[in-house]
A = this chain, B = another copy of it.
Amino acid sequence: MRRIERREELKVEVSSVLSPYVEPLATIKPGETIEVETYDAFGGVIKPGQTYAQAIERGIELQPNPVTGPIYVEGAEPGDTLIVDILDIELPELGAQAVIPGFGALEGWLKRLESETKFHRIEDNRILFERKDGRTITLKADPFIGTIGVAPAFEAITSLAPGPHGGNMDCPDVKPGNRLMLPVFRPGALLSLGDVHALQGDGEICGTAVEVPAVVKLRVNVEKGYSINWPRVESSDEIMTLCSARPLEDAVRLAFLELIDWMHRDYGWDRMDAYMYLSLTARIRVAQVVDPLYTVAAKLSKSLL
């Protein structure tokens, strides 16, 4: 199995963007299984001995959400779909979480909001959350890829943003055991990824989760001649569409339009039937409400298809 290493040096035009203008880091064949080394969302700047506030004080600039890539997938052409099977995520021993001024869903809503950094130890797939009163709570890890996407057709988009190309969706369903599908806009698809979270709740409400560097194991394939508009995920028991917009209700609307389209095209549903049926059976995951666009997954159980 191939291991794709992170770039040594971070440069914003190269590492903080999903872009057709960046030289591929590696080329793989369809069906290949790879291991990808990813950066944490803070680009390694927040670490023991250096909180967010200290980094700012020391004049250290944060590279916004660096990704590893792009990875050129042979044979992928515009109009195809990239199939990414997420096989495994290897976590480190420590994760960081920070409340950053100007960021987070309750910025301006919660009184006296200041920067705050926590480091969470990770042991045996468990996360140790330390409260200010000294009590420690143990949480089960549930790691996933926060940022993963292809190059847009002609835009270069910051790795902080999600969109039809994927990107910073921060959706906990993009995790080991599940299959992610992405539209292909450029030859080679140009896959990039990073921003693994060891654990995250719906909404990623404070703006960050348990942010970790990681090693992600993936198998990448190409479905020729099948095109989609937005990312999709298939788990063992659900199908889901992942759409991003502002305001949040537009992300919901887009995700349901895509889900109805999927049910119609692949499962033979009449569109109005699907619309009324989903009104009885759908599940919505609010992935995040903190990035430049908000991300929602509209889900249907496979047993109900």
Known: A132-B270, A202-B283. A249 touches B252 (CB 8 A): no
Judge whether A92 is part of the interface by a CB distance below 8 angstroms.
Answer: no
Bound Cα distance A260, B118 (Å): 18
Query: What chain B residues lie within 8 Å of A208 (beta carbons)?
Result: 279
Kindly provide the distance from the CB of A107 to the nearest chain B CB, expressed in whole angstroms.
7
Binding site for B on A (CB under 8 A): 12-13, 16-17, 19-21, 97, 99, 104-111, 113, 116, 118, 127, 129, 131-133, 137, 139, 153-158, 199-210, 245-249, 252-253, 256-257, 260, 268-273, 275-286, 289, 294, 296, 298, 304
* A–B pairs, 19, beta carbons within 8 Å: A97-B276, A99-B275, A99-B276, A104-B275, A106-B257, A106-B260, A110-B275, A111-B271, A118-B276, A131-B277, A132-B272, A132-B273, A203-B282, A206-B276, A206-B278, A210-B280, A247-B249, A248-B249, A252-B286
Known contacts A155-B155, A206-B278, then 18 further A-B pairs from the complex at CB < 8 Å, ordered by chain A residue:
A13-B154, A17-B154, A21-B156, A105-B249, A105-B256, A107-B108, A109-B257, A110-B257, A110-B260, A118-B276, A131-B270, A133-B268, A137-B277, A199-B280, A207-B279, A208-B279, A284-B285, A286-B296
